[in-house]
Chains A and B, each alone.
Chain A
C-alpha cells in the first residue's frame, strides 16, 4: 500500500530544543517537499528536494534544516533558531517537481 507517512502526528517540545520530523514515502517519487501551514494561511514551502543528496530552500527556510540521504526519506529538523515553530507541518512527494504532489497526514508541532 503506497503512500507517505509522517510521524508522530502530535509533537510537543520545549522552547530551545531542536526537533526532527519524520517523512517516509514508498511511492518511488524523486521529489519531496516540506510545507508549513498556519491558521488562515496557505501552505508555505520550507524545503524541497529533487533528488537524493540535493535540496533547495523554499520561501521560509530560516530556522529549518533537512537531509536527503535516501530516496524514501526526507526528515525536517526544526531548530531553536526558528522563531515561531508551532505549526502544522506537511510532507509531500511527487514524481518530479512540477507534478501533482501527494501529501502525508501531517505533524502538529507545539513548542512551549
Chain B
C-alpha cells in the first residue's frame, strides 16, 4: 500500500511563475520529509527537508510546507526556471527508519 502519494504525474509551468508540487501521506507517525529532484538516468539529488516540528522550511527558491493535520506537504519553486525541469520525489520516514518515496511528479518549465 502506497504510504506516500504524489497524485499529479506531471505539471507544466511557465518560466518565472510558481511551481507547486504536492505530496500526501497516510502514516501519521511520519516525522521527517524530504524532496528530491531527479533527471533521467541519474540518481536523485536532495533538495530540501522538513521535520514535523516545523510547518515551513525555505532554501533559496525552494520552500516546503507541511500540513500535519491534512497529512500533506508541498514544494514551492519560485521563480521557476527551465533547469528545474525534472522529476520531483517526496519521501517520508518515521522515527529514524526507512524512507518511503512517492511516485514522482514530472515538472516541465516552459521558457
Contact = CB atoms under 8 A, between A and B. Distances in A.
B98 A45 contact: yes
Most buried by A among B4, B6, B45, B96: B96
Most buried by B among A40, A42, A104, A106: A42
A103 B98 contact: no
Name the interface size band of chain A.
20 to 34
A48 interface: yes
B47 to A, nearest CB: 10
B101 A48 contact: no
Interface string B13-56: 00000000000000000001010100001111110010000000
Contacts, number: 58
Contacts of B32: 98
Interface in A29-46: 33, 35, 40-45
A60 B10 CA distance: 26
A33 B91 CA distance: 14
Contacts of B96: 96-99
B65 interface: no
B62 interface: no
Name the interface size band of chain B.
20 to 34
A58 interface: yes
A106 B36 CA distance: 15
Most buried by A among B6, B34, B46, B89: B46
Contacts of B91: 43
Interface of B: 2, 4, 6, 9, 32, 34, 36, 41-46, 49, 89, 91, 93, 95-99, 101-104
6 contacts: A58-B98, A90-B43, A90-B44, A97-B96, A97-B98, A105-B43
